Amino acid sequence: MKTEKVFGGIILVGLIFKFMHWPFAGPLLVIGLGTLSMLYLAAGFYFFSDENIKRQNLALSIVSGFALSSACSGILFKLMFWPIGGALIMAVITVPTILAITFWLKSKTKRTDLTTYYNNMIVRSAVMTVLVAVFYFTSSVSLIKIIHSDDPEWVRLQTQSCLHPENEEYRKEYKEYINKK
């Protein structure tokens, strides 16, 4: 959990930088969410274990690693306005909730040696459920309006570019405006 707190801090700093329009917001978000996503995917079974790697439900750890990795990627794609961000968030919206419920039900069993493991996984899944739900119910247009509230022209051009990705003229006009700034 210490590693997650460190990367959570990096993500928080990246979000602050993004809302303040300071440089390096994108790289901080990519480092924070991207690394967390890779950790969950590649080493979820090791990363989620308690003090001993054998004290876990291995199958649930592997599934959780994949699900939480996908959720981190969806949040990153949505925040950076990259293609398929909304689709990725939509695909994983229910998975962290199902995992949290599953871990909660498993924690109610009489097996007490996995209590810490289940409680940690409930926290991870619940936090990810809330984050994914927030980004699922926040449209890209709303995010653009929130992030660039001080520049209505930027909002207009980026909104047009996002809503009509096939229209090359909108994208060109948006890129020209960014280059002028």
pLDDT digits (tens, 9 = 90+) for 115-166: 788 888 888 899 999 999 999 999 989 999 998 888 899 999 999 988 888 8
Provide the pLDDT confidence category of residue 70 given band limits of 50, 70 and 90.
very high
133 and 149 part of one domain? no
The boundaries of the domain holding residue 171 are 140-181
Tokens of 82: 């990259």
Residues 87 and 112 in one domain: yes
Q: What is the pLDDT of residue 103?
A: 87
148 and 134 share one domain: no
User: Quick one: 164 and 95 in the same domain?
Assistant: no
Shared-domain flag, residues 24 and 74: yes
pTM of the full structure: 0.87
